[in-house]
């Protein structure tokens, strides 16, 4: 795992800020960018591991949103709005000049810059607009825009004439976007815990299906999973200490209605049915019959390998 312990701790904190763990995925990907400068394959595996999702599920999200970059950005990301209001004011020309000056979209020389065209940046009164790490500059002439690029390459971007902020580096601004420094974690974690333990709690879906999954074992990394494991006395996790007596009480009520399949699934998810430490997902050996049964909940169906082994 290339991520430092601090990042792992911060990531876990982000997860616990939501009643359902997966909600933290967008903030987590911002956090990954704050460490790596982009979203690498390791970054995707990191999120998948944390949220008990597949890498494909995380990758699908990471590639959907334009702010997640799949190649290193460098210190500064310059976005040029080329929507009509900026376009007729010269935005398109600025973008083309940037691509020419950088010989493409990425220029690793100096501080390292990436240039991109952007859709409406929400500041049309300053058209044409360029942003450096999401700080606005405008209106700028083509010459001014090129000077901005030069200064960014030297690592010395000027302060925004709109907000007055001097843009931090890409990694720094992504850290801000992850929300890890919002300073309200304690409140949000407590709020999420209370919501997760509500009489009729938040529900969540598994995989990419539209079928709601409402038992908390389906949320192994979040509060719901915690409460579930706590109540069923299975598995352990670094955050199980957080559960209070009140939580246990609520969870034990929840668990009463859940026997059989759900408990089996919970055991499987927490590794209780497999004494050996779980290998990484991509090296996972074929599951034994028992595990297949536990994972699918279809113990009465013979797995295909049954004949050979019998």
Partner 1 sequence: MGTTGQVSAMSYRYDVPNVGDIDVYEEHDGYEGLRKALEMEPAEIIEVVKESGLRGRGGAGFPTGMKWSFVAQDTGKPIYVVCNADEGEPGTFKDRPLMEYDPHQLVEGMIVAGLALNAVMGYIYLRGEYAASGRALTKAIRQAYDKGYLGADVMGSGKRYDLAIHRAAGAYICGEETALLDSLEGRRGQPRLRPPFPATHGVYGCPTTVNNVESIAAVPFILRNGVDWWRQWGTEKSPGPKLMSIAGEVQNPGNYEVALGTTVNEMIEMAGGMLEGRELKFWCPGGSSTPMLPADKADVPYTFEAIQEAGSLLGTGALMIYSDQTSVVSVVRRWTHFYEHESCGKCTPCREGGYWLGQILTRIDTGMGRMEDLELLEDLCDNIFGRAFCALADGMVSPITSSLKYFRDEYVEHIRRGASPYGVEPRRDIATVEFSSGGGYLADPPPATPKHVLETEPVGGGQA
Binding residues among 20-49 for partner 1 as defined by CB under 8 A: 20, 22-27, 29-30
Q: Which is nearer to partner 1, 45 or 294 (CB)?
A: 45
User: Which residues, 6 or more positions from 190, have their beta carbon under 8 angstroms from its beta carbon?
Assistant: none
Residues in a beta bridge with 115: 78
163 counts as binding partner 1 under rule CB under 8 A: yes
Question: Site mask, partner 1, residues 128-157, x = CB under 8 A?
Answer: x--x-xxxxxxxxxx-x--xx--x------
For the bound state, the minimum distance from the C-beta of residue 177 to partner 1, rounded and expressed in Å, comes to 5
Using CB under 8 A, pick the residue from 155, 158, 271, 303 that binds partner 1.
Answer: 158
User: Rounded CA gap, 57 and 108, in Å?
Assistant: 30
Report d(CA 306, CA 204) in Å as an integer.
34
Is 179 an interacting residue with respect to partner 1 (CB under 8 A)?
A: yes
Residue 249's alpha-carbon distances to 39, 82, 230, 232, 294, in angstroms, are: 41, 57, 10, 11, 26
Closest separation in Å from C-beta 286 to partner 1: 30
Given the complex with partner 1, which of 60 and 301 has the nearer CB atom? 60
**Residue 184 beta carbon to partner 1: minimum distance, rounded to whole angstroms:** 6
Stretch that binds partner 1, among 100-108, 204-212, 237-245, 273-281 (CB under 8 A): 204-212
- Cβ-based nearer residue to partner 1, 118 or 266: 118
Q: Which of 3, 38, 46, 68 binds partner 1 (CB under 8 A)?
A: 68
Q: Identify the residue among 8, 99, 106, 124 touching partner 1 (CB under 8 A).
A: 124
């Amino acid at each position: 795992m290339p991520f430092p312990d601090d990042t792992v701790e911060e990531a876990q904190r982000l997860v616990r800020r939501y009643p359902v763990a997966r909600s933290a995925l967008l903030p987590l990907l911002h956090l990954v960018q704050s460490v790596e400068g982009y979203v690498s394959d390791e970054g995707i595996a990191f999120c998948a591991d944390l949220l008990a999702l597949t890498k494909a599920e995380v990758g699908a999200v990471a590639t959907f949103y334009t702010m997640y970059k799949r190649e290193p950005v460098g210190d500064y990301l310059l976005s040029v709005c080329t929507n009509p209001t900026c376009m007729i004011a010269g935005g398109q020309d600025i973008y083309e000049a940037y691509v020419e000056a950088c010989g493409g979209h990425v220029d690793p020389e100096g501080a390292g810059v990436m240039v991109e065209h952007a859709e409406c940046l929400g500041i049309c009164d300053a058209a044409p607009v360029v942003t450096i790490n999401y700080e606005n500059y405008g209106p700028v002439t083509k010459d001014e825009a090129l000077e901005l690029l030069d200064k960014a390459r030297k690592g010395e971007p000027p302060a925004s004439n709109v907000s007055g902020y001097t843009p931090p580096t890409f990694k720094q601004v992504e850290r801000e976007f992850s929300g890890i420094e919002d300073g309200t974690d304690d409140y949000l974690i407590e709020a999420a815990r209370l919501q997760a333990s509500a009489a009729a709690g938040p529900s969540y879906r598994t995989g990419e299906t539209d079928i709601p999954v409402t038992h908390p074992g389906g949320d192994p990394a979040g509060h719901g999973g915690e409460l579930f494991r706590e109540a069923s006395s299975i598995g352990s996790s670094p955050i199980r200490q957080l559960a209070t007596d009140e939580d246990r009480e609520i969870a034990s009520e929840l668990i009463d209605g859940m026997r059989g399949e759900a408990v089996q699934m919970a055991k499987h998810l927490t590794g209780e049915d497999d004494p050996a430490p779980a290998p990484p997902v991509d090296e996972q050996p074929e599951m034994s019959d028992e595990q297949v049964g536990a994972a699918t909940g279809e113990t009465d169906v013979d797995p295909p390998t049954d004949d050979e082994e019998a």
